Structure 1
Amino acid sequence: MARPKKTDTLDTAQAIELTAGAIQRLTCRTDTKAQAFLRDTKAPGLRVRVTSTGHKSFVYETKLNRQTIRRTIGDVRAWTIEQARTEARRLAVLVDEGVNPIDQERQQQAEREAKKAAAAALAVTVGDAWAAYIAERRPHWGERHYLDHVAIARPGGEPVKRGTGVIQPGPLAAFMSQQLRALTPEAVESWAAREAKTRPTQARLALRLLRAFLSWCSERVDFAAVVPAQNPAKSRRAREALGKAGVKSDALLREQLPAWFAAVRALPAAPAAYLQTLLLTGARPGELLGLRWDDMNVQWRGLTLRDKAESKGGEDGTRQIPLTPYVHHLLAGLPRRNEWVFASTTKPAPIATPRWPHVDACRVAGIEHLTLHGLRRSFGSLAEWLELPAGVVAQIQGHKPSATAEKHYRVRPLDLLRLHHEKFEAWILEQAGVTFDAAKEPGKLRAVTP
């Protein structure tokens, strides 16, 4: 029998002993998406597949549980015929044992990926997880809360904006380069003991943020495997090492009002207006800094402040307080550079929180250790001189109702709040020695001291 020529067309309906020449002569239609198979007689189930593009590969095909199984072995240019036969025989043994080679391969691939993910999880650092945490949670946080997370973990080393020196690392900076799995209760307790000697207040905040972060990690598939079941930051020893926060009592005294107002009103317009408004409204420093021009209702003499969630303000997270005459004068006198009332002169944003200008003003006035939050505390403390209703003061400041009657049976409209608030403002200006004509047009008034 004559040897077939290289140009002869193979009969793919018949199984043959695969040879390099036969594989070379195997062709397929090119006018449609089709494929052809050439069966091997020496290794049952072994085929050579050719596609309409001319690509050829070894495949194994058989039936298992009345279903056709077809698994690609490899390219004919990478596998020899004998290697393909050996692989086909191995697959045939699996099928005889009732194992689907495709399912087995998928399972093995899943196991390899799981091992790879586990190895990656073991290598992940606290800094990597922290970055993912604040990126995911930022839409649910206020700007101040987000900045606390950034500052508490910053590496430090940058030059300070005021004075000389560099910014110190945040309390949690020491953890950022460590592996997440190394964050054990013992490590947290040792950290707390060190931080308690230099900055316990910041460390207490850091411990609270760390506890929330680790709870988030325990709920994430990619981090849960390396975080202990018991939150390492929920450590009694760590809390005891840092101690309890002291009660803050910084507030303006009535007799300090003249000196404070004189020093603050000597500052540039925006910081001066901000600090006076902070005292006269009892607002939180951050929520007042975010005041926009659209938040001023001149017709009904009201201010809309974006409240903290826990203060239970309006349904949209805001609360309404009166726009008192002197505060209206201060705000109306500011230039409208952008949407913000206390606008920066260099960028479309509010001014930076004027802590240092306030420190300078307090130094001039001879007042020590008065913080911006101390001005909010001063509002509530000075209101005692007029015996203003505690519920009115709390509602203006955005505090939670302190009793069932306040929460469910007291509805104070804006005009009722204004009655008490304007009385408070007039008394403060009187004690400060500020002469103010409330009958003239806001923004064109001239407030003078005798």
Structure 2
Amino acid sequence: MEHQNFTAQRVASFRCAPDKRQSLFWDAKTPGLGLRVTGTGAKSYIFETKLHGKTLRITIGSPASWPLSKAQDEAARLKVMTDSGQDPRQVKADEIAAKKSAAAAMTAQEARETIIVGRAWNEYISAMKPTWGALHLHDHVRAMQAGGEQRARSSKLTEPGALASLAEIRLIDLTTECMTAWAKIEGAKRPARARNARTLLSTFLNWCIAHPIYGAIVTSNPTQSKEVKKHLGKAAPKNDSLQREQLSAWFNAVKQIQNSVISTYLQTMVLTGARPNELVSVHWGDIDFQWNSMTIKDKAEGLRVIPLTPYVAHLLASLPRRNEWAFSSPTSASGHLVEPRIAHDKACAIAGLDVTLHGLRRSFASLCEWIEMPAGIAAQIQGHKPQGVREKHYIRRPLDLLRVWHVKIEKWILGQAGIDFSPTITALHRVK
């Protein structure tokens, strides 16, 4: 029996259940070494002494794991530490912290030497994807795509993205010199796309700087260098929009698009002035055919409700219900439209026009001037932030007031486009 080598100099008995009581036996040869025996018969060696005027007790281990001679050596070691004023618990905690620090430093060093841009980029997309719109996500994927894959509707292969040449570079090597060399090549080949890619990469690097691991690798943002921006040039301000006399040609070309979802999407953009990524993420549950309203995820306010005008309701009601998305796509991974720009560019080429998707949003704002629609109403339909004290704090427009003007501008646009549409037809096509 282990406690035969101990003397019962003190027996500690506590007022608690019998199985919780403890007895302590002390080794006469080794100062501070004791054997603790619980009410259930469990035994363990302990070390007890005074440190800075307070009792310090440390569990050494069970006799099954600690032979008496080793327990005595451990107690002697702890005694030397406490006699010198050291707290063994703090010493142990410091050792653990030092090991963790060394392991973290080794992990950081391995990260600096091995993590490439493409790997961090994919992690960045996964982290930010829930907060992005579909088109914004698509821009990130396309910017870093390797290319060489078969296109869905063409025999041509996909081209490498503007950032593809950086994918295999170590994150630590993404310096100003590296970015300047990239800007010279991409700026000469495709400046507009390169400028957009630089913006995406800049936001990504800012994310890396705040990252717990990548922050030790990326300490500055080389995309902000004047030299990099110089080689990419400045984007010319875009003022593209549909003029009144162009509406007929544009609608005729867009209505000929074979894909009815894309055709409806483009017409809805002109007639609502919504942002491109707002419309593609509209669910069927966001469209109320009974009360003629549509809820859109808003960039400024989170959500906004706009009138569902007769012609737009007619177009939406005729769309196929493949899934939860109003503007669905059976070929995209997301289930909804991702790249309607290609079809729109072809339609514009047929009509002899040069208008971007955002130009359609600009067109709605400009065309509203023809019917002298109040600027605040057009802005609210489009999801612009209120401007001025009255708009911000006093004007509260009900949906029916927006509807009066929204129906009026839709009727005017359709009239200019030569589209003869009777609102009564809409009821025949509504989907309950």
Shorter-chain TM-score tier: 0.7 to 0.9
The one-letter code of the counterpart of 1:252 is: L
CA distance, structure 1, for counterparts of residue 426 and residue 395 of structure 2:
34
State yes or no: 1:203 paired with 2:191. no
Letter in 2 for 1:400: K
- Pairwise mapping of residues 315-330 of structure 1 onto structure 2 (< 5 A)? 317-330=302-315
Question: Which of 400, 404, 422 is the matching residue for 1:437?
Answer: 422
Query: What residue is the counterpart of 2:99 in the other structure?
Result: 112
Per the alignment, residue 245 of structure 1 pairs with 235
1:437–1:189 CA distance, 2 compared to 1 (3 A) = same
| Structure with the larger helix share | 2
Pair 1:362-2:314 in alignment: no
Aligned to 1:303: 294
Partner in structure 2 of residue 70 of structure 1:
58
In 1, the alpha carbon distance for the partners of 2:314 and 2:154 equals 34
SS of match in other structure, 2:314 = helix
| Secondary structure in structure 2 of the residue aligned to 1:376 | helix
Does 133-142 or 426-435 show the bigger shift? 133-142
SS state at 1:259 partner: helix
CA contact (8 A) 2:47 2:58 kept: yes
Deviates more, 1:264-273 or 1:32-41: 32-41
> Normalized against structure 1, the TM-score is what?
0.73
Query: How far apart, in 2, do the equivalents of 1:255 and 1:190 lie?
Result: 46
Contact 2:273 2:365 in 1 (8 A): yes
Separation of aligned partners in 2, 1:128 and 1:101: 43
Q: CA 1:10/1:74 → structure 2, altered by over 3 Å: closer, same or farther?
A: closer
Q: Which letter maps to 1:197?
A: A
**Counterpart secondary structure, 2:4:** coil
* Greater alpha carbon shift after TM alignment, 91-100 vs 186-195: 186-195
The structure with more radius of gyration? 1
Mapped partners of 1:75, 1:215: distance in 2: 56
Counterpart for residue 361 of structure 2: 376
The answer to whether structure 1 residue 271 and structure 2 residue 282 are counterparts is no
Q: Percent identity?
A: 45
Amino acid at match of 2:229: R
Determine the C-alpha separation between the residues in 1 that align with 2:23 and 2:60.
Answer: 14
1:113 Cα deviation from its structure 2 partner: 0.5
Q: Structure 2-normalised TM-score?
A: 0.76
The alignment partner of 1:249 has SS state of coil
Task: Map 1:412-431 onto structure 2 (within 5 A).
Answer: 412-431=397-416
CA deviation after TM superposition for structure 1 residue 116, in Å: 1.2
SS in 1 for 2:6: coil
With over 3 angstroms needed to count, the CA separation of the structure-2 counterparts of 1:218 and 1:339, relative to structure 1, is: closer
Provide the residue aligned with 1:96 in structure 2.
83
Q: 1:73 to 1:176 in 2, by over 3 A?
A: farther
- Note if contact 1:332-1:442 (Cα within 8 Å) is conserved in structure 2: no
Indicate conservation of the 8 Å contact 1:59/1:74, yes or no. no
What's the counterpart of residue 6 of structure 2?
13
Q: Kindly state the Cα deviation for residue 370 of structure 1 after the two structures are TM-superposed.
A: 3.2
Q: Could you tell me which runs of 5 or more consecutive residues in structure 1 were left unpaired when the two chains were aligned.
A: 1-7, 16-30, 446-450
Q: CA offset at residue 108 of structure 1?
A: 1.3
Q: Given that residues 6 and 27 in structure 2 are in contact (C-alpha distance below 8 angstroms), is that contact kept between their aligned partners in structure 1?
A: no
For residues 117 and 180 of structure 1, the distance between their equivalents in structure 2, rounded to whole angstroms, comes to 18
Which residue identity does 1:249 align to in structure 2? Answer: N
Measured after TM superposition, the shift of residue 217 of structure 1 is 3.8
Of the structure 1 ranges 385-394 and 33-42, higher mean CA displacement relative to structure 2 is found in: 33-42
- Which region of structure 1 is more displaced relative to structure 2, 42-51 or 94-103? 42-51
CA distance in 2, matches of 1:55, 1:152: 65
| Structure 1 residue 281, shift from structure 2 partner | 1.8
What one-letter code is carried by the residue in structure 2 that aligns with 1:276? Q
The total of aligned residue pairs comes to: 414
* CA distance in 1: counterparts of 2:75 and 2:177, whole angstroms: 56
Show the counterpart of 1:285: 276
* 1:342-361 superposed Cα distances (whole Å, 9 cap, x missing partner): 33457994344433333343
Matched position secondary structure for 1:427: helix
Q: Which amino acid aligns with 2:95?
A: Q
Q: Distance in 2 between matches of 1:128 and 1:335?
A: 38
Deviation at 1:244, TM superposition (A): 2.5
Asked if 2 retains the 8 angstrom alpha-carbon contact of 1:333 and 1:442, the reply is no
Note closer, same or farther for the CA distance 1:187–1:345 as it changes in structure 2 (3 Å cut): closer
1:209 to 1:336, Cα distance in 2 relative to 1, 3 A? closer
Q: How far apart in 2 are the matches of 1:377 and 1:46?
A: 84
1:337 shift after superposition? 4.2
Deviation at 1:340, TM superposition (A): 3.1
For residues 226-270 of structure 1, the C-alpha deviation after alignment (integer angstroms, 9 at most, x for no partner) is 442x54444333333333222123333444433332332232432
The one-letter code sitting in structure 2 at the alignment partner of 1:68 is: L
Q: What are structure 2's unaligned runs of at least 5 residues?
A: 9-17
Conservation of the 8 A alpha-carbon contact between 1:331 and 1:341: yes
1:339–1:162 Cα change, 3 Å: closer
Once the 2 structures are TM-superposed, how far is the Cα of residue 377 of structure 1 from its aligned partner?
A: 2.5
Q: CA deviation at 1:288?
A: 1.8
Provide the alpha-carbon RMSD of the alignment: 4.1
Equivalences for 1:144-163 in 2 at 5 Å?
Answer: 144-163=135-154
1: CA distance between counterparts of 2:275 and 2:329?
A: 19
1:62–1:327 CA distance, 2 compared to 1 (3 A): same
Q: 1:253 and 1:188, CA in 2 relative to 1: closer, same or farther beyond 3 A?
A: same
Amino acid at match of 1:372: L
Whole-angstrom CA distance in 2 between matches of 1:175 and 1:33 = 65
Matches within 5 A, 1:167-246: 167-228=158-219, 230-246=220-236
Residues 336-347 of structure 1 mapped to structure 2, 5 A cutoff = 336-344=321-329
Stretch of structure 1 that moved more, 341-350 or 416-425 = 341-350
**Whole-Å separation in 2 of the counterparts to 1:441 and 1:85:** 93
